[in-house]
Amino acid sequence: MGSDDGLDWRERQRHAVRAHAEAEERRRATEHAEAAELVAWFAAEATRRGLPTTRLTARAHDGRGRYRTRLTGWYVDRARTRAVDTEGRFHLLSVPPRLRFRLFGVDPMPDPAPLVLGRGGRDGESIPLRTLLSRRLEAGDDWR
C-alpha cells in the first residue's frame, strides 16, 4: 500500500463530505422555498379574510424587554416571537438586548421560515408551519 492509496482515500473522503454538504444545502433551499410559499399564502389569506394586523414588537433574548419595530403583520404564536409581516415575510422576533434598540427600535430582517417549528428543540415540541398558520387563521380575532 503506497502513499498514493492514502491520498486517494482522503480525496474520496473530501468528495463525499462535499457531496453531502451540497445535498444538505439543496434540501434546505427546497424546504425554505416551500415554507416561503406557505408564509406568502398565509399573508394573502389573512388579508383576504380581513384579519386585523398589529404593529409587531421584538423581544430581547433574555425576555426582559420588548422593542418597537416598523413591521406590521400578524403574530403566529402565542409567545409573540414569530410573525408574518404584511408583505408575506417570516420573522423571528427575538433580538439581543441593546439600549439602542430600546431608544430607537429595531428593524429585524426576515428569516427563512422552517417547515417545522421547534424541530430538534429540547422540549420535544414541534409543529408543522402549515398547521401553525392554519390555526392562526382559524382563530381570527379570538387569537389574542
pLDDT of residue 4: 65
Q: Which residue has the cell 434540501?
A: 27
pLDDT of residue 46: 96
Give the chain's residues under pLDDT 70: 1-6, 120-124, 143-144
pLDDT of residue 120: 62
Beta strand 94-95 with 54-60: parallel, antiparallel or unpaired? Answer: parallel
pLDDT of residue 144: 59
pLDDT of residue 105: 85
pLDDT of residue 122: 65
CA pseudo-torsion sign 135, 137, 139, 144: positive
